[in-house]
C-alpha cells in the first residue's frame, strides 16, 4: 500500500532558484508523495507571478503577503488589497507576515504596522495567518495574543524554530506549528523536544524551499519533494508510522487551510 500524500504547506516556487526546472520540481514532488504545495508570495508586487504558478499546476495553492524583512522596502500593504486577492479560488492564506529582528530589527515599527494589517485581513477573510518570527518571541506573542482576544483568527507559525514558551502560548491559542527541515538537523534536539510535546493535531510540515534542505541534501537547493523527509522525522518524533503521521498532518492542513478542501487535485 502506498503512503498517503502529504502537503508542503510553505515554499517559494516563484523564486529564481526554480526558474529553469519548475515543472520538473512539481513532478518530483508528486513522485515523492507530496500531493499538494502551497507557494508563498513574500511581496505583493510578485503576486501575479505566484498566482500564475498556482493556476498552471493543479496541485499548487498559494498565499500572499509582505514578508517582515520586506516591510520597509514596499508600499505598506492594505487590508483591501489582501481581501481582493483572497477572492481567488486558489488563494488559501494571508502572509507570510510577522516580525524578524534577526536581520531587520531597525524596521521594527514598519514590521508591526504591516503585521497588524495582515491580522485584520485574516480576521475579516476567515483565512489563516502565516507567521514568520525570528528573534522576536516576546513581541510576536504579545501582538498575536492581543489581537486574537479582539477577534479570533487561525494561524500557523511557519518554520517554527523559536523557544518553548512561545510554542506553548501559540498552541494554547489553537495555532499550528509547522516543521521544516530544521528538525532533521543534528543539533536540533531542543526543537525536536518542543515538537514532541505539542498536540499532534496542531502540526504541519513544510520545506520553506528553496531554503533549509534536510539531509542528505543539506547545503543544496531545497524543493517540495523533500517535505517527505521532514515528515519522516516528524513520524519519528511522535513515535508513529509514516502513514499515520501523513494522514494526521493532512487532516491538520485541511482543518487550518479550509479553502484548500475545495481545491483538492483530482485523484
Cis peptide before 210 (omega within 30 of 0): yes
Nearest to 245 by CA among 256, 254, 233, 255: 233
pLDDT reported for residue 1 = 45
The list of the chain residues with pLDDT below 50 reads: 1
Q: Using CA atoms, how far apart are residues 199 and 189, in angstroms rounded to an integer?
A: 18
Prediction pTM value: 0.97
Q: Using CA atoms, how far apart are residues 8 and 11, in angstroms rounded to an integer?
A: 7
Q: Using CA atoms, how far apart are residues 67 and 74, in angstroms rounded to an integer?
A: 10
pLDDT reported for residue 263 = 75
Q: What is the DSSP letter of 215?
A: T
Q: Where are the domains of the chain?
A: 6-262
6-262: CATH class: alpha beta
pLDDT reported for residue 266 = 66
pLDDT reported for residue 230 = 98
pLDDT reported for residue 212 = 97
pLDDT reported for residue 74 = 87
pLDDT reported for residue 21 = 97
Q: Which residue has the cell 516580525?
A: 99
Amino acid at each position: 500500500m502506498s503512503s498517503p500524500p502529504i502537503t508542503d504547506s510553505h515554499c517559494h516556487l516563484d523564486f529564481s532558484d526554480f526558474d529553469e526546472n519548475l515543472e520538473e520540481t512539481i513532478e518530483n514532488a508528486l513522485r515523492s508523495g507530496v500531493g499538494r504545495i502551497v507557494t508563498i508570495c513574500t511581496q505583493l508586487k510578485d503576486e501575479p507571478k505566484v498566482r500564475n504558478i498556482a493556476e498552471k499546476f493543479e496541485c499548487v495553492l498559494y498565499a500572499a503577503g509582505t514578508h517582515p524583512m520586506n516591510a520597509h522596502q514596499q508600499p505598506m500593504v492594505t487590508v483591501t488589497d489582501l481581501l481582493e486577492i483572497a477572492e481567488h479560488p486558489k488563494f488559501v492564506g494571508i502572509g507570510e507576515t510577522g516580525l524578524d529582528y534577526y536581520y531587520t530589527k531597525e524596521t521594527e515599527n514598519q514590521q508591526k504596522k504591516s503585521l497588524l494589517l495582515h491580522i485584520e485581513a485574516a480576521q475579516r477573510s476567515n483565512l489563516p495567518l502565516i507567521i514568520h518570527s525570528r528573534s522576536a518571541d516576546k513581541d510576536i506573542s504579545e501582538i498575536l495574543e492581543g489581537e486574537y482576544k479582539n477577534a479570533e483568527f487561525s494561524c500557523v507559525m511557519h518554520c517554527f524554530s523559536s523557544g518553548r514558551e512561545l510554542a506553548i502560548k501559540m498552541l494554547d491559542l489553537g495555532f499550528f506549528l509547522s516543521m521544516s527541515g530544521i528538525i532533521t538537523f543534528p543539533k536540533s534536539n531542543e526543537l525536536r523536544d518542543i515538537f514532541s510535546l505539542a498536540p499532534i493535531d496542531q502540526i504541519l510540515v513544510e520545506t520553506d524551499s528553496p531554503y533549509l534542505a534536510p539531509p542528505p541534501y543539506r547545503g543544496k537547493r531545497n524543493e517540495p519533494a523533500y517535505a517527505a523527509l521532514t515528515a519522516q522525522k516528524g513520524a519519528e518524533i511522535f513515535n508513529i508510522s509514516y502513514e499515520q503521521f501523513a494522514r494526521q498532518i493532512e487532516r491538520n492542513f485541511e482543518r487550518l487551510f479550509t479553502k484548500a478542501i475545495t481545491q483538492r487535485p483530482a485523484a
